[in-house]
Structure 1
Amino acid sequence: MENMLEVKNLKVSFDTHNGEVQAVRGVNFNLKKGETLAIVGESGSGKSVTTKALMRLLPKPHGYIKEGEILFEGMDLVKQSNKQMQKLRGKDISMIFQDPMTSLNPTMKVGNQIMESLIKHQKMSRGQAKKRAIELLHLVQIPNPELRVNQFPHQFSGGMRQRVVIAIALACNPKVLIADEPTTALDVTIQAEILDLMKDIQKEMDTSIIFITHDLGVVANVADRVAVMYAGKIVEIGSVDDVFYNPKHPYTWGLLGSMPTLDSEEAELFAIPGTPPDLLNPPEGDAFSSRNQFALEIDFKEEPPMFQVSETHFAATWLLHEYAPNIEPPASVKKRMRGIASTASGPKGDEQ
């Protein structure tokens, strides 16, 4: 299957009064046609910065791509001018942002907001664009689209506004869709509906999706592959089965173990101790070492390479070295892993 996107050694920094913050520190991944790749991790791990770099939407002049390549159908986006990127954004690569209320212009009718990209990128007349806008509102399952196309964002519920944002992102049939925590601002019932909608649309349009989230229950139901980020790096990447049933990095163990499950009996949730490192001065060795109860001496001295676990599964931990001790996740973490995995394999919506 062909790669729609290839990211090679991507490094993103921000200049601040205190110095250079190394927000993304050498990220590598690819995205295949029709695939959903989920990027997960704690707040501050570099998920959103990575995807904003893909769109070249970093805040200037303080945010910048320091190094690396972003290959979209073989074209390096890092080397494209702002004018060239404007032609790509919305047409070939679109983004769904976290909060639909701040993503929509409150002074414009939703139909006009959908029509903008159709007129700009597809060269449609206003009549053609309005007809297509109504079709898109119908596609994202908004009732009475002929009426709704003339309404303003405040006349929609939160879930309906997010559907409008999805319609805008899909207007020009993009090849890559980036969804930055698109359900976080919604209640759990609406979350399930939006996730099902995105899966249905992907099947219909064969779009490649990068899905950013901190919710592993969501990941298990929408993704084909998962990339786990920590301190600006991908520390584990593999299929959903790889990450849920055979996780190798202690940070992934911590994320899985800290997720509540419906059959959890313990009153107290597992939590990863400590806090992420300061990326003004990244630590030597494995950035997770100070929070890792299984850390080896070498973790504090040398950064681990990305070890290959299987054809589809890779993890950057010294525990995979041939001379490392054989350490398994704690029993409490394994129990929650089984619970989350079994929930993920249930009927649609069960995770909610």
Structure 2
Amino acid sequence: MEKLLEVKDLEVSFQTYAGEVRAVRGVTFDLYKGETLAIVGESGSGKSVTSQTIMKLIPMPPGKITNGQILFDGVDLVPKSNKEMEQIRGKDIGMIFQDPMTSLNPTMKVGMQIMEGLIKHQNMSKANAKSRAIELLRLVGIPMPEKRVNQYPHEFSGGMRQRVMIAIALASSPKLLIADEPTTALDVTIQAQILDLMKDLQKKLDTSIIFITHDLGVVANVADRVAVMYAGKIIETGTVDEIFYNPQHPYTWGLLASMPSLDNEGGEELTAIPGSPPDLSNPPKGDAFAPRNHYAMKIDFEQEPPMFKITDTHYAATWLLHPDAPKVEPPEAVKKRMISLSTSHLIKEGK
């Protein structure tokens, strides 16, 4: 498979009154053409900053890329000016934000908001751009697109507004689509519809997707690969099956254990990860997750673990994978969740 995006040792900091906050600390990952990569982690883990840095959308200052490369189609985006990035945003890289009501212009008809990118990036006439906008609204599942193209955002429901945002992001047929928590503000039924829509559109358009979320459950049937982020670093990465059925990092165990289960007949309580993420204005020594890790060893508080190889596609940064470390099994709550996920997957596949 051909690589579309290579992020290499990316570091991003913000200057604040409390000092320098190191929001992203040496993030490295690849994205292949036609692939969906989910980046998962709690609020403050650095996933949204990473995605916005790819598009050079972080405010500079106070934000600053202090190290690393962002190779998109072999070209490094880091040194590019804002004016140069304007030719890439929308045309080659599209973005869907968390809350469509704060992203859509309330004073403009939705059709015109879709048409803007077509007129700017593809030099379309207004008439052709409007026809394309109607096509895109139909593509994302909005009924009566000929009528809806002349309506304002407040005339759409939350789920329909998110569909409009997807239409805008897809208008110029970008090679890469970044979806930053696109279903968080939606109810579960609409959330499932939006996820199915994105999966369907990816097959039709062969677009690569980076899906940002705090909820592992959301990506189970959407992603090809998963990168788990904590305290500004990727701490585990693998195929979706490897992350869900053979997780290795205690933080990934915690995320899995905190997922609600659909077959929770006994009223089993969700397991919360104890403590809080670290203050990244003063990153801790050793493994940043150690203070919250029930299985932490002395070395976790002294040295940062490297990425240990589990398979050719699966890596995790935990000292538990060192040959001299004690053998530790995932907690029972995680094992139950893995069985539950496996069962629901088989049901969905009709097996």
Instruction: Identify the residue that residue 299 of structure 2 maps to in structure 1.
Output: 298
CA contact (8 A) 1:217 1:340 kept: no
In the alignment, structure 2 segments of 5+ residues that lack a partner are none
Instruction: Identify the residue that residue 249 of structure 2 maps to in structure 1.
Output: 249
CA contact (8 A) 1:87 1:121 kept: yes
2:317 corresponds to which letter in structure 1?
A: A
Instruction: Identify the residue that residue 223 of structure 2 maps to in structure 1.
Output: 223
Alignment of 1:74-153 (within 5 A): 74-153=74-153
Compute the displacement of 1:345 (Å).
4.3
**For structure 1, which segment, 58-67 or 146-155, has the greater mean C-alpha deviation from structure 2 after superposition?**
58-67
Distance 2:100 2:25 in 1: 30
CA RMSD for the aligned pairs?
A: 1.0
- 1:202 aligned counterpart, secondary structure: helix
Segments of 4+ moved more than 3 angstroms: none
Instruction: Identify the residue that residue 13 of structure 1 maps to in structure 2.
Output: 13
Listed one character per residue, the Cα deviations across residues 19-51 of structure 1 (whole Å, up to 9, x for unaligned) are 000000000000000000000011100010000
Listed one character per residue, the Cα deviations across residues 163-182 of structure 1 (whole Å, up to 9, x for unaligned) are 00000000000000000010
In the alignment, structure 1 segments of 5+ residues that lack a partner are none
CA contact (8 A) 1:259 1:340 kept: no
Distance 1:345 1:181 in 2: 26
Distance 2:193 2:180 in 1: 17
Distance 1:152 1:268 in 2: 43
Distance 1:343 1:29 in 2: 29
Distance 1:322 1:201 in 2: 44
Distance 1:83 1:196 in 2: 35
Instruction: Identify the residue that residue 159 of structure 2 maps to in structure 1.
Output: 159
* Paired-residue identity, %: 72
CA contact (8 A) 1:177 1:207 kept: yes
Instruction: Identify the residue that residue 32 of structure 2 maps to in structure 1.
Output: 32
Aligned residue pairs total 348
Listed one character per residue, the Cα deviations across residues 45-102 of structure 1 (whole Å, up to 9, x for unaligned) are 0010000000000023101111100000110000111111000000000100000111
1:89 corresponds to which letter in structure 2?
A: R
- 2:106 aligned counterpart, secondary structure: coil
Distance 2:184 2:261 in 1: 18
Instruction: Identify the residue that residue 173 of structure 2 maps to in structure 1.
Output: 173
Instruction: Identify the residue that residue 22 of structure 1 maps to in structure 2.
Output: 22
Instruction: Identify the residue that residue 55 of structure 1 maps to in structure 2.
Output: 55
- 2:20 aligned counterpart, secondary structure: strand
Distance 1:307 1:96 in 2: 33
CA contact (8 A) 1:27 1:232 kept: yes
CA contact (8 A) 1:98 1:183 kept: yes
CA contact (8 A) 1:217 1:344 kept: no
Distance 1:345 1:227 in 2: 24
Length-normalised TM-score, structure 1: 0.97
Distance 2:288 2:148 in 1: 49
Instruction: Identify the residue that residue 275 of structure 2 maps to in structure 1.
Output: 274
Distance 2:255 2:346 in 1: 19
Distance 1:23 1:52 in 2: 12
- 1:37 aligned counterpart, secondary structure: strand
Distance 2:167 2:238 in 1: 30
Instruction: Identify the residue that residue 343 of structure 1 maps to in structure 2.
Output: 344
Distance 2:281 2:18 in 1: 8
Listed one character per residue, the Cα deviations across residues 306-349 of structure 1 (whole Å, up to 9, x for unaligned) are 0110011000000111111111111222112221343244428x
Distance 1:227 1:327 in 2: 22
Distance 1:14 1:96 in 2: 23
- 1:102 aligned counterpart, secondary structure: helix
1:208 corresponds to which letter in structure 2?
A: S
Distance 1:210 1:122 in 2: 24
Listed one character per residue, the Cα deviations across residues 97-127 of structure 1 (whole Å, up to 9, x for unaligned) are 0001111000000000000000000000101
Distance 1:215 1:166 in 2: 20
Alignment of 1:180-259 (within 5 A): 180-259=180-259
Instruction: Identify the residue that residue 3 of structure 2 maps to in structure 1.
Output: 3
- 2:4 aligned counterpart, secondary structure: strand
